[in-house]
Structures are given as structure tokens and as C-alpha cells.
Structure 1
Amino acid sequence: MGTRVIGVVGPSGVGKDTVMEAMAEADARVRLVRRVITREAGAGGEKSVGATDAEFDALVAEGAFALWWAAHGLRYGVPRAAVEDQGGEAVVLVNLSRGVLDQARACFDAFSVLSLRAEIATLAHRLAARGRETAAEIEGRLAQADSARPTGADVIEVANDGALADTVQVALAALQPERV
């Protein structure tokens, strides 16, 4: 069957990384892609690989990324090795920007979108709790929360307002209905 790539998207504070980690813990076939980001490794709470601009440029020139893009003043790369065919029924989850979904669709043969959503009050609470943004930045992120929601036959939308275990169960069932 080959490796299936799932682009996980959603507004800031929806819990993309938390849900992805919990899905990988719940199902051994699910693997996480650590993105390369032009910031210090692990900054922002994400388990990422840090790179300077020069290092990122070198990786682009080497063809090390299956997909890369710029957003929020940073550059993000999906390592090619992490999404190459791993055989069996492997599913890889990668945190993507909504703006690169069409590129991802063109890049990966077996691709789907897991679009996480949450109520504005939930997002506001989570953004404030993580303490990374100012009140004005939080307001800006909340204003964009419902914009550019992905559409298409490959989009699976899951709410993440309740218990994490419930979100994970719904997401795994939706992504792999034959196993439920």
C-alpha cells in the first residue's frame, strides 16, 4: 500500500501537535514527521529540527525536502526521508500550513488532510495558556481561526474541544475506517 501522508492543519491553539503525538501513541502504524524550521529546535513547543537560514538554504539546494514553504517569518521543510515509502501500512502525520495543501496534494501520491477545529473560546484559552503571544497577537490569530478552512474530498474535519482521547479516537477512525 505504501506510506500515506496526512497533512494536519488548523488554527493556532487547536492542538495539532498534541493530537498528532497522541495519535502516534495510540496506533503503532502512525509516525510523526519532525519539520525543519528556521528557528531554534523545539521553540514554540513543537518537536522540530532547528536550522539557520543558511542551513535551510543548503537543505533546499540538496533536495532534502519533499515540501517546503515560508509562513509567519519562518521557513518550514518536510524532510524527504520522513515521507518516503516506508512499506506496509505506514501513516505519517505532518503539521502543515493551510496555504500549502495544494502543493502537498501534488507532492504526495497518497495524501489526506486532517483539519482540526475548535470553538473560539477554546482557542483563546489555549493560546493564553501557552504564553507565547501577546494579547494583540492572540486576537489576530483568533480573527484568522475560521479563515481558509480546507475543502476537498481528501479533507477530514475533526473537532478538538473535548477530551484528547475522544479527538484521537474520532481522528483515527476517520483516517482508517477499515480498522475500526
Structure 2
Amino acid sequence: MSRGCFIAVVGPSGVGKDTLMRAMVAARPGLRRVRRVITRPADPGGEGHEAVSEAEFATRLKEGGFALHWRAHGLRYGVPVGIGLDLAGGRDLLVNLSRGALAEAQGRFQPFAVLHLVASGEVLAARLAERGREAGAEIEERLAGAVQPLPEGVGPVVELDTDAPPERLARRALAGIYAVRA
């Protein structure tokens, strides 16, 4: 049995990562979306992460509970260590990842691919305002970070503009990922 592929889904806040990942899972049985652990309260309309306190996150980190972890936007994010079993069992995984964690993820997990999502500044601003999680200065901070390039040497990369219906984007994303993985 071949190892599963670690598919890092990256892009700026508001680009539609969670929406697209849900559509990709619906379109491809067996593909799994990894549930992240975040030091942010649960958001019924959001990604469905596991909300934990800073203290709980620190305890899990100390006990080796994360395969990857990082800080962004004043929060801590973790990918549970259990993903290694899924990958070893041949299951492909979608992981909403920070661009800053890509090199580390690629070094740890093979096969590896990056789905880089992009959208115009106007689209991102509208989506961030609509979701209501950030306001004024926070939205501006996230928009400023939207132009950050991917780290050198990570890949293969499939880039996709998210200005289309999720079902169509899911088909394009899956075709692109499995083409570069072959």
C-alpha cells in the first residue's frame, strides 16, 4: 500500500480554504480533511476546529500531541500527531496550513503537494467582513499578509483562484493535485 499524500491547503484569510476543502471531500470519497487544534473559540460557521485554551495547547505540545504547530494572528495552531497513521494507511489528507509551516511539513511528509488559493484584495476584504470574525485593523492586517509569497523550494504547487463556485473549484483542485502527484 502506498502512503497517503499530505495536501497542504494555503492562502490568505478569507480566500475560501474551508469551503473548498469541504467541497473536495464531498467530491472524492476517502479524502479526509484534518481537524486542527486552535486557541480560538469555536465558530459554528467556521472550519470546525477543536478549540482549546493556551494552557491546554501548551500541555499537548509538551506531550508530543502535534505533528506540526505554529503561531499566526495571535493564535496557536496545531495539526494532531495522529495524521501519521492515516498517511501510513494510504489516506490522502487535506490540511489547512500556514505558509510559514510549509517547508517543515514538506520535510516531514511525503508525498506532499501544495494547493495555493488566491483571490483579489476586494474579494478577500468582502469575505472577511462577511464572516465577522475580524474588524477594521484586523482585516487590514490580514489583507497585508495576503501578498506573502510561498517559501522557496516547496511543492509541487497547484495555484487556484477561488472566484468560482466551490464544486467547480473542487474538481479543478483535485485534478491539479492528482496530476502533480502522479
TM-score, normalised to structure 1's length? Answer: 0.89
Residues 48-87 of structure 1, C-alpha deviation per residue, up to 9 Å, x if partnerless? 1111122112211221111111111111110111342456
Q: Secondary structure at the match of 1:176?
A: helix
Checking the alignment, whether the CA contact within 8 Å between 2:4 and 2:87 is kept in structure 1 is: yes
- The amino acid of 1:170's aligned partner reads R
Residue aligning to 2:82: 81
Residue aligning to 1:172: 174
Superposition deviation, residue 136 in structure 1: 2.9
Q: Does 1:155 align with 2:177?
A: no
Residues 108-161 of structure 1, C-alpha deviation per residue, up to 9 Å, x if partnerless? 122111100112221122112112222332223222212223554411111101
* Separation of aligned partners in 1, 2:81 and 2:148: 29
Q: Secondary structure at the match of 1:84?
A: helix
Residue aligning to 2:108: 107
Residue aligning to 1:55: 56
Which runs of 5 or more structure 2 residues have no equivalent in the other structure? none
- The amino acid of 1:92's aligned partner reads L
Where do residues 23-62 of structure 1 align in structure 2 (5 Å cutoff)? 23-42=24-43, 45-62=46-63
Counterparts in 2 of 1:29 and 1:162: CA distance versus 1, 3 Å = same
Superposition deviation, residue 89 in structure 1: 4.5
* Separation of aligned partners in 1, 2:141 and 2:53: 27
Residue aligning to 2:123: 122
Counterparts in 2 of 1:153 and 1:68: CA distance versus 1, 3 Å = closer
Deviates more, 1:72-81 or 1:54-63: 54-63
Which runs of 5 or more structure 1 residues have no equivalent in the other structure? none
Aligned residues: 179
Identity of counterpart residues, as a percentage? 49
* Separation of aligned partners in 1, 2:144 and 2:28: 34
Checking the alignment, whether the CA contact within 8 Å between 2:5 and 2:87 is kept in structure 1 is: no
TM-score, normalised to structure 2's length? Answer: 0.88
RMSD of equivalent CA atoms: 2.1
Superposition deviation, residue 35 in structure 1: 0.5
